[in-house]
Amino acid sequence: EVQLLESGGDLVQPGGSLRLSCAASGFTFSSCAMSWVRQAPGKGLEWVSHISSSGGSTYYADSVKGRFTVSRDTSKNTLYLQMNSLRAEDTAVYYCARRMVAATAFDYWGQGTLVTVSS
Amino acid sequence: QSVLTQPPSASGTPGQRVSISCSGSSSNIGSNTVNWYQQLPGTAPKLLIYSNNQRPSGVPDRFSGSKSGTSASLAISGLQSEDEADYYCAAWDDSLNGYVFGTGTKVTVL
């Protein structure tokens, strides 16, 4: 059974940093591209970042470019999102999602982890 | 901000057919496939339709998707109470070099 389990969400002050993790199981992690998607309270979905299966290619939304870094550790079957210079508008539930091998869709999602940026 | 536009709400009575539109541009829907997600209250999104009109295993055939030019649509036939949720379209955008979601549509079963 495919499982994605996010962790690391917390309350952090503006300007602070946080690292999210997404532990993957039930599939060959090294074969799948992964993304982070967030949802601010009461708002819609916003794609944040994407990393290829090899980790060699990464993509970011303009809203986080230069502040967030996505990475993956195949030996630990874990996806990461390093978030620096956090702003109030980064407050959201962050989901990790697996991209289908032969399509652009995300077929499995984690349960999400809440990041709150506030003083 | 979302570059794919959806109506904020849609509704119908049980058994009716409801359709949700998703309007984009040549850089996203016009040149890439469209996916649809369902989000029940308080839960993570769930893939409903991929590659314009394909249903993942386990998704009822009451749900169908289509695409034409720079627009796409999701249809729910035989509406049921458990279909009450938020629905999002999405596609890769070649200009933004990123994935874009629609503004979302809340479906209410009357």
Measure in Å the smallest separation between the Cα of B35 and chain A Cα atoms: 6
Cα–Cα distance for residue pair B109/B21, rounded to 1 Å: 18
- Confidence (pLDDT) at B82: 96
In chain B, the residue whose alpha carbon lies closest to the alpha carbon of A41 is B42
Give the pLDDT confidence score for residue B1 in this predicted structure.
Answer: 58
Residue A47 sits at the chain B interface (C-beta within 8 Å): yes
Cβ distance A110 to B44 less than 8 Å, yes or no, reads: yes
pLDDT, mean of residues A102-111: 95
pLDDT of residue A43: 96
Query: Per-residue pLDDT averaged across B88-97, rounded?
Result: 96
Show residues of chain B in contact with A62, CB under 8 Å. Answer: 96, 98
The predicted-structure confidence for B46-80, as pLDDT tens digits, reads as follows 999 999 999 999 999 999 999 999 999 999 999 99
Mean pLDDT of B75-88: 97
b/e map A63-73, b = 16+ CB within 10 Å: ebeeebbbebe
pLDDT value at residue B48: 98
pLDDT category at A102 given cuts 50, 70, 90 is confident
For the cut 90, the answer to whether the pLDDT of residue B37 exceeds it is yes
To the nearest whole angstrom, how far is the Cα of A61 from the nearest Cα of chain B? Answer: 6
In the predicted model, what is the mean pLDDT of residues A33-49? 97
Looking at beta carbons, which residues of chain B come within 8 Å of A37?
45, 101
Confidence of residue B2 (pLDDT cuts 50, 70, 90): confident
A35 contacts B99? CB cut-off 8 A: yes
Please determine, for residue B41, whether its predicted confidence score (pLDDT) is greater than 70: yes
Chain B residues within an 8 Å CB radius of A109: 44-46
- Mean pLDDT computed over every residue of chain A: 97
Q: Say which amino acid occupies A24.
A: A
The number of angstroms, rounded, from the C-alpha of A15 to the middle of its chain's C-alpha atoms is 19
Tell me the shortest Cα–Cα distance from B89 to chain A, in angstroms: 10
DSSP-derived secondary structure letter, B56: P
